[in-house]
Amino acid sequence: MYTRCLATAAVVATLLMILASFCVPTSQAAGLHHVTASHAGNGPYGPDTCLTGYVWREAFTDDHVCVTPDQRTRAAFDNSQARYRVNPHGAYGSDSCRSGYVWREAGPNDHVCVTPEQRTQTAYDNEQALSRYAA
């Protein structure tokens, strides 16, 4: 059972890397985002167009922080593992993380449990967000 889960995660990670190499956000490829007035102009994805080498993180809907493709893959993997990393009996109820994990905090309501190192990376990516837009 665990081997299958790891193999599936590897396939998902590989597919996300392929999509990232085309610089097309997975949600755009799936048609989940619609162009709005705030996204008009300044590049193919409006003011949220990333510099070459960066893609939207997509840790949650409308997360347009530009990160490296491997960080987007990591966010997708962390999202896929979210239900295994919670401790429903902790201080924050169903938002509590198991020992060794902390909230990612990619946004104000992002309570996906990740390693402390990944939260540090996420905070750094958030700090660098404005410098990674093409617009």
Give tens-digit pLDDT for 88-120: 999 999 899 999 999 999 999 999 999 999 999
The boundaries of the domain holding residue 49 are 2-132
Amino acid at the residue 52: T
The answer to whether the beta carbons of residues 45 and 92 sit under 8 Å apart is no
pTM, two decimals, is 0.68
CA angle 124, 75, 83 (to 5 degrees): 125
Neighbours of 127 (CB within 10 A): 10
Domain count, the chain: 1
Q: For the chain, give me the number of helices (H) and strands (E)?
A: 4, 4
Residue 91, both tokens: 């201080």
Encode pLDDT of 16-72 as tens digits.
443 343 333 444 333 333 333 343 446 788 899 999 999 999 999 999 999 999 999
